[in-house]
Amino acid sequence: MNIIDSLRPTAYKVNARWLPAMMIALPVVALLAGVLYRFVPWNNIEQVPWKAFGSFAGAFIVIGVASIVLFAEKIRDRGKHLQEEYFCKASAFPTTEFLLWSNDTIELEIKKLLHTAIRRDFDIRLCSCEEEGKDISKARRLICSAVNQIRESVKDGRLLIDYNIRYGYYRNIIGSADWGMALAIVCNIVSLFIGNVYVFTAEASLIFYFLLLLYKREEILNEYSQEYARRLFSEYMAWSYERKKMGQLSGHLEA
């Protein structure tokens, strides 16, 4: 990835990539704060080496920001791996499963409308119920192609970007929660030697947070991926209706 593109902030990049990376790195930040509090003579402000402290803080911020940006890409890769592993390489992602006739999450009438709209908008004829029963792999492949077209058409949508960010955040942070928990455990042990109860408590809280994410990961992934799928199809139907209406209007004008 181009380094300039990596540094260019977007709502999705900040909240679904950089924020999980910062959360994973938070145990180290908390420990460093505890070390500074322990060894810098804050009670005697005149003895604080401000020049050295300023240089250290500046270098820490620059290196920290650069590290978070680069680390975020690794966090994203682990999140994508988790998604592929959990959802069987996307063929069982809710956006695919919801359009199968054998899946009853979406009401039958709504599913028929979606199939009809997909054929009209993208010239993709999804499998019938009988065809799906004979070759479900083909049915899934066709749906994946249709969903890709839907995403390209809807893009960020009205509220779809919020649902995408929410799912992306949890997917990425859960994918690296084991790293976060390992860091928090090590930093928690080190905090015992600097004798800072606040750092110890913060690290213990982070251990609990990462442990909870790992324990509830299937429930979390299911909930937010299904919310995203429902919103995607809702906004697609609105987009398709507007497209159909504009086509009809254009036809009337030409007549």
What is the tens place of the pLDDT at every residue in 7-58? 677 899 999 999 999 999 899 888 888 877 766 555 555 655 655 556 656 6
Q: Which residues contact 238 (CB under 8 A, 6 or more apart)?
A: none
Identify whether the C-beta of residue 177 lies closer than 8 Å to the C-beta of residue 154.
no
Alpha-carbon gap, residue 210 to 184, rounded angstroms? 9
Alpha-carbon gap, residue 69 to 17, rounded angstroms? 8
State residue 53's pLDDT score.
56
Alpha-carbon gap, residue 84 to 92, rounded angstroms? 9
State residue 47's pLDDT score.
57
Task: Give the residue ranges of the chain where pLDDT is below 70.
Answer: 1-7, 38-64, 66, 89-91, 246-255
State residue 167's pLDDT score.
96
State residue 181's pLDDT score.
95
State residue 255's pLDDT score.
47
In terms of C-beta density within 10 A (0-12 exposed, 13-18 middle, 19 or more buried), how is residue 41 classed? exposed
State residue 59's pLDDT score.
61
Question: Which secondary structure element, helix H or strand E, spans residue 84, and what is its range?
Answer: helix 50-86
Identify whether the C-beta of residue 53 lies closer than 8 Å to the C-beta of residue 6.
no
Cα Dmax for the chain: 86
State residue 34's pLDDT score.
80
Identify whether the C-beta of residue 222 lies closer than 8 Å to the C-beta of residue 186.
no
State residue 63's pLDDT score.
66
Token pair of 141, please?
A: 């492949």
In degrees, rounded to 5, the angle at the alpha carbon of residue 36 between the alpha carbons of residues 32 and 38 is 115
How many other C-beta atoms lie within 10 A of the C-beta of residue 208?
12
Short-list 130, 108, 126, CA closest to 117? 126
Half-sphere exposure of 98 (CA within 13 A, CB side): 24
State the pTM of this model. 0.83
